[in-house]
């Protein structure tokens, strides 16, 4: 059985990250200010990690399968009706972005960072809403 309190805390953390990005991020400065780059990238990283934690917890507790990658966590949630397919794909791309930030596979594309802050923050809110709706 999925621990509703744990999931609720993680979802609230995601929403806090989104609120902080909306209130504090300066997208126009991302490409020229290293502090802004690091604040935004780190805040996105921890929000994505919280989403991965939620997905991992649900997949494990509900015995939805054995994912080989973090991206597959979201696929398993979609297959079981927790997320729409399009949201699974979006969150999978977020997980890929997180991997680049955390593991330094390649230089972070600051245009992508800016795009996420300017146009994709609602994806996190939609993810939280979908998970909450399924848990009710």
Q: How far is CA 62 from CA 29, 44, 100, 124, in A?
A: 43, 27, 29, 22
pLDDT of residue 71: 93
Q: What is the pLDDT of residues 89-135, one digit of tens each?
A: 999 999 999 988 888 756 888 999 999 999 999 999 999 999 999 99
Determine phi and psi for 24, rounding to 5 degrees: -110, -25
Mean pLDDT of the residues in the chain: 94
Q: Can you list the domains of the chain with their CATH numbers? A: 4-135 (1.20.120.580)
- For residue 31, give the DSSP letter: T
pLDDT of residue 105: 57
Task: Count the Cβ atoms, other than its own, within 10 Å of residue 56.
Answer: 14
pLDDT of residue 102: 87
Higher pLDDT pick, 102 / 12: 12
- Tokens found for residue 20: 């902080």
Q: Mean pLDDT lowest for which of 18-32, 67-81, 92-106?
A: 92-106
d(Cα 74, Cα 95) in Å, to the nearest integer? 9
d(Cα 54, Cα 23) in Å, to the nearest integer? 24
């Amino acid at each position: 059985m999925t621990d509703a309190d744990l999931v609720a805390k993680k979802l609230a953390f995601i929403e806090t990250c989104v609120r902080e990005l909306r209130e504090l991020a300066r997208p126009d400065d991302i490409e020229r200010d290293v502090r802004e780059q690091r604040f935004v990238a780190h805040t996105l990283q921890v929000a994505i990690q919280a989403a991965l934690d939620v997905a991992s917890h649900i997949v494990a507790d509900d015995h939805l399968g054995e994912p080989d990658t973090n991206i597959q966590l979201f696929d398993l949630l979609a297959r079981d009706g927790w997320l729409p397919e399009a949201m699974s794909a979006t969150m999978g791309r977020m997980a890929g972005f997180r991997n680049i930030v955390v593991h330094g596979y390649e230089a972070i594309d600051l245009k992508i960072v800016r795009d996420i802050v300017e146009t994709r923050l609602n994806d996190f809110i939609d993810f939280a809403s979908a998970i909450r709706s399924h848990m009710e």
